[in-house]
Amino acid sequence: MWIYEKKLEYPVRVTQPDIRMAKYLMAQYGGPDSELSAAVRYLTQRYTMPTNRTKGLLTDIGTEELAHWEIVGTMIYKLLKNVPPQQLHHAHLGGYFTEHDNAVYPVDASGVPWTAAYIQATGDPVTDLHEDMAAEQKARTTYEHLIRLTDDPGVKDTLKFLREREVVHFQRFGEALNEVQEELTRKKVF
């Protein structure tokens, strides 16, 4: 069960519409290493984790990723708000406008729709946790690219928050991996 809270985890300030930046931010909304991929990945993998702690961690990080997905969606929504179709066309978002208008649809920065093929759940907790750590690093790198692509201080601020969360999640997944490996080793011995 999830309960929705009517607020963002972190505020989104956008100085003015910026179609190009909205397009780039799609990377983290519907791309391979997006917040959507992260949430679905962790909330899918948690069922077959061997320890209660790891089930808890994947549930809690997966839930935070949904909050991040909402933050990125809010940034895109605000950056595209009231932008006329002609301008979307000039920013090479004409194809996007044809199908989605100013809606916030999960595609990547090149317009490729989100797919479950971006994530894995192998049933092997060591493999899955390695994927999770790699995913956090990939998302961190993407945020660093995005931070360099904008001058908007509000957008930069929110992106820095999201980047920092990737670092923390990576750390926590590393600790979970150690615990799982210890648990599996212990089981083999006795």
Partner 1 sequence: MDPNQMQLLREIQQLEFVAIELTLYLDTHPDEQEPLRDYNQAAERLNQLKMQYERLYGPLAAYGVSTSKAPWQWSEQPWPWDINY
Is residue 156 within 8 Å of residue 150, measured between CB atoms? yes
Q: Does 130 bind partner 1 (CB under 8 A)?
A: no
Query: Least CB distance from residue 45 to partner 1, whole Å?
Result: 15
What is the distance between the alpha carbons of residues 142 and 72, in angstroms, rounded to a whole number? Answer: 13
The correct pick among 64, 65, 131, 166 for binding partner 1 (CB under 8 A) is 64
8 binds partner 1 (CB under 8 A): yes
**What residues contact 102, with CB distance under 8 A and at least 6 apart?**
77, 80, 81, 82, 83
The Cα 29–Cα 66 span in angstroms is: 10
- Residue range at the interface with partner 1 (CB under 8 A); choices 39-47, 69-77, 94-102, 129-137: 69-77
Residues in the interface with partner 1 (CB under 8 A) total 29
Residue 110 in contact with residue 29, Cβ under 8 Å? no
What are the residues binding partner 1 (CB under 8 A)? 3-13, 53, 56-57, 60-61, 64, 70, 73-74, 77-78, 154, 168-169, 172, 175-176, 179
